[in-house]
Amino acid sequence: MTATATHCPYCALQCAMTLTASGGEVTVAPREFPTNRGGLCQKGWTSASLLTTPDRLTTPTLRTGRTGPRHPVGWDTALDHVAGRLAGIRARYGADAVAVFGSGGLTNEKSYLLGKFARVALGTSQIDYNGRFCMSSAAAAGNRAFGIDRGLPFPVTDLDDADVVLLAGANVAETMPPLLGHLGGARLIVVDPRESATVEFARRNGGLHLAPRPGTDLALALALLHLAVTGGAVDRDYLAARTDGFAEAWRHAAGWWPERAERVTGVPAADMRAAAELLAGGPKTYVLTGRGVEQHAKGTDTVSAWINLALALGLPGRRGSGYGCLTGQGNGQGGREHGQKADQLPGYRSIADPAAREHVAGVWGVPAEELPGPGRSAFELLDALGGPGGPRALLVFGSNIAVSAPDLGRVADRLAALDLLVVADFVESETAALADVVLPVAQWAEEDGTLTNLEGRVLSRRRAVPPPPGVRTDLDVLHGLAVRLGQPAERFPAEPAAVFAELRAASAGGPADYAGVDPDRLAAGEALHWPCPADGPAGTPRLFLDRFAHADGRARFAPVEHRAPAEATDDDYPLIATTGRVLQHYQSGAQTRRIAELAEEVPEPFVEVHPDTAARCGLADGALTRVVSRRGGTTARVRYRPGLRADTVFLPFHFAGQGAANRLTNPALDPTSRMPEFKVSAVRLERVT
């Protein structure tokens, strides 16, 4: 019997757990840790079931033609085939004809080596990851306001003493339930078009629910800023000492009096005033945002509007108050810091910065001029596959884009147009099912590595059990391909410790500096939050206490204005579909749909509909309906939801095939973050006979 201290494979709260392996079985027990304090959600409790899923992949498979089934092959055959095809495509079409798609679920080591592999072994600029669909708008807004992007610039335990917390677009009761243990003493203001489990929790504790029409969150934030100014809640001393640009931001908010905002958002002006009074009255106040305000074609501006409100109240950079973004994926923070994002190099450096290129190239041992420049963002990359001037080959690590990308019909066509699709995964995901080559890799409890949670805290993920015979790690795969593509073996180490040592050197001096994150300090249990320079203190748990990260040390207001969603409703598509998660499932569902306990509770796609709306469409509770947008349709079972807006329907995005919610979603992109508009799709409901 062996017991291993590690962390959950799911969300960015990264709850601590102990895995005990005995007689071929693995059991889970929660472990005391600041984020979860001895608790786990249902997904965490059942996570060990993933290790013995019956359809686990253990042998590489490939198909030699464009059609027909894949057949099992040895590792050398598979890697030789992939490397040969990649080399041939590069020789014929150029380096950018090969693309790489990563994940916010990969460890820091994998994220780092994947970015290095793309830019050095392949020489391509075409690399991005699924975090573009998750955190990119908040990252852009955070950088714009504060000069740096870290989800929570304070430890999650600071929320324990909060008086008031505004949650905009975040259903934490289902997406990260242990976080509720830190919010129980606060009055919550929940901004969500549906009456979620978080809304129910807030009401039990005397909180408020603001239910805006999807796509109008920015107008609501402007109205709350208007009320803060006209109600005398603005901290003028803070504005003068620590910020710039308030006057211009106020010029946009000045016209958003509550009654005007009510006509746009549907939120009663009286509720806005009640929320503004709560925000003004709590000495310990936080504003937290999530995917609900980010996944829009104006997501960056929407997050900026909530940051503007927080700055006007004097919250960021003060002990006991603040602004933060609730990172979604397990390594959503670390995954965007070390080079798998199209425009970034390790340490959260810009790939367009000559000094950053010189530093990283020096660590990698290559000329800086040989590093490619910025590539396409995630959806733009997928949309270019197989087309003129677009990539002809795609390597996918840790992502299930055949379920998670917007406008899935369009993405499926692009994947089918590729000359080569290679997927590294531990199960036959919907994306793996389309691949020409599938490489079976280790999963979370079968390998060592580090992750960075929503607080910017670096954590150790420890191997509890060996992978099944025949399975390799992602680092092994990248090493094997790099060597076959002509790279020196030592340039692409396969041991996590060696990769992390190199990551620390590559990140040194960057905004996300990991140079001081020594493995011995991690093993000793030190709380190491980046930036953690080699010659500095034990990390930085609280950013901005003395200064913001802009050169002058001041925060920036962003002058933002509300604009309509990318598409409008009409007589043919009179309703708005918005998407999200449920407690029992995670992301594309490739993991949780394989766990019997979770799948039994939520076994099929559903659509939440207000009973009055359902009656007008002739739909009974429990009936099947076809939800149709201008891009496609999905079939789901009707669930009556009296607490939902009558003009809105809600679908979880965890399901595949004809039940995939992303058959509906709009790929319209935010001009800054390149985030697609997942949260607003004009739809109609059709009866299914």
Note the pLDDT of residue 581. Answer: 95
Q: Are 335 and 149 in contact (CB under 8 A)?
A: no
Note the pLDDT of residue 650. Answer: 98
| Alpha-carbon dihedral 151, 155, 159, 160, rounded to 10 degrees | 160
Tokens 């995954």 belong to 335
Note the pLDDT of residue 525. Answer: 84
Q: Which residues are within 8 A (CB) of 614 and not within 5 positions of it... i.e. 6 or more apart? A: 620, 621, 638, 640, 685
Note the pLDDT of residue 186. Answer: 96
Q: Are 290 and 247 in contact (CB under 8 A)?
A: no
Q: Are 279 and 208 in contact (CB under 8 A)?
A: no
Q: Is 475 helix (H, G, I), strand (E, B) or coil?
A: helix
Note the pLDDT of residue 53. Answer: 94
Residue 452 located in a structural domain: no
Residue 579 located in a structural domain: yes
Residues 186 and 278 both lie in one domain: yes
Residue 513 located in a structural domain: no
The closest of 9, 49, 176, 58 to 594, measured between CA atoms, is 49
Sign of CA pseudo-dihedral 637, 640, 641, 647 = positive
Residues 164 and 309 both lie in one domain: yes
Say if strands 164-168 and 187-191 run parallel, antiparallel, or are unpaired: parallel
Residues 315 and 404 both lie in one domain: no
Residue 538 located in a structural domain: no
Length of the chain: 689
Q: Are 329 and 12 in contact (CB under 8 A)?
A: yes
Residues 46 and 175 both lie in one domain: no
Note the pLDDT of residue 523. Answer: 87
CA dist., res. 235 & res. 313, Å (int): 6
Domain of 394, CATH number, reads: 3.40.50.740
CA dist., res. 374 & res. 364, Å (int): 18
CA dist., res. 549 & res. 148, Å (int): 6
CA dist., res. 367 & res. 344, Å (int): 17
Q: What does the DSSP 8-state code read for residue 56?
A: B
Residue 518 located in a structural domain: no
Residues 153 and 123 both lie in one domain: no
The pair of structure tokens assigned to 207 is 């909180």
CA dist., res. 688 & res. 619, Å (int): 9
> In the Cβ-directed half-sphere of 511, how many Cα atoms lie within 13 Å?
24
Residue 449 located in a structural domain: no
In 46-135, which ranges are continuous DSSP H helix? Answer: 75-93, 108-116
Residues 161 and 290 both lie in one domain: yes
Residue 490 located in a structural domain: no
The closest of 260, 590, 654, 575 to 400, measured between CA atoms, is 590
Residues 321 and 432 both lie in one domain: no
In 94-243, which ranges are continuous DSSP H helix? Answer: 108-116, 136-146, 172-175, 197-204, 217-230, 236-242
Residues 353 and 320 both lie in one domain: no
Largest Cα span, the chain? 70
CA dist., res. 1 & res. 266, Å (int): 58
**Segments in the chain below pLDDT 50:** none
Q: Are 608 and 614 in contact (CB under 8 A)?
A: no
The pair of structure tokens assigned to 368 is 């800086």
Q: Are 533 and 516 in contact (CB under 8 A)?
A: yes
Kind and range of the H or E run holding 378: helix 378-384
CA dist., res. 610 & res. 685, Å (int): 12
Domain's final residue, options 485, 514, 548: 485
Domain's final residue, options 294, 326, 358: 326
Residue 656 domain boundaries: 575-687
Note the pLDDT of residue 304. Answer: 98
What's the burial of 123, exposed, middle or buried (CB within 10 Å: 0-12/13-18/19+)? Answer: middle
Note the pLDDT of residue 13. Answer: 96
Note the pLDDT of residue 168. Answer: 98
CA dist., res. 653 & res. 578, Å (int): 10
Q: Are 167 and 190 in contact (CB under 8 A)?
A: yes
Note the pLDDT of residue 538. Answer: 80
Domain of 677, CATH number, reads: 2.40.40.20
Residues 128 and 257 both lie in one domain: no
Residues 130 and 141 both lie in one domain: no
The closest of 438, 584, 456 to 511, measured between CA atoms, is 456
Residues 312 and 381 both lie in one domain: no
Tokens 């009656």 belong to 615
Q: Are 468 and 421 in contact (CB under 8 A)?
A: no
Cα–Cα distance list, 602 to 94, 175, 611 (Å): 46, 15, 21
Q: Are 289 and 170 in contact (CB under 8 A)?
A: yes
CA dist., res. 561 & res. 61, Å (int): 51
Domain of 206, CATH number, reads: 3.40.228.10
Residues 202 and 241 both lie in one domain: yes
Q: Are 41 and 35 in contact (CB under 8 A)?
A: no
Q: Are 222 and 253 in contact (CB under 8 A)?
A: yes
Q: Is 132 helix (H, G, I), strand (E, B) or coil?
A: helix
Note the pLDDT of residue 66. Answer: 74
DSSP result, 170-185: --HHHHSGGGGGGTTT
Domain count, the chain: 4
Domain's final residue, options 305, 326, 347: 326
Note the pLDDT of residue 202. Answer: 97
Residue 293 located in a structural domain: yes
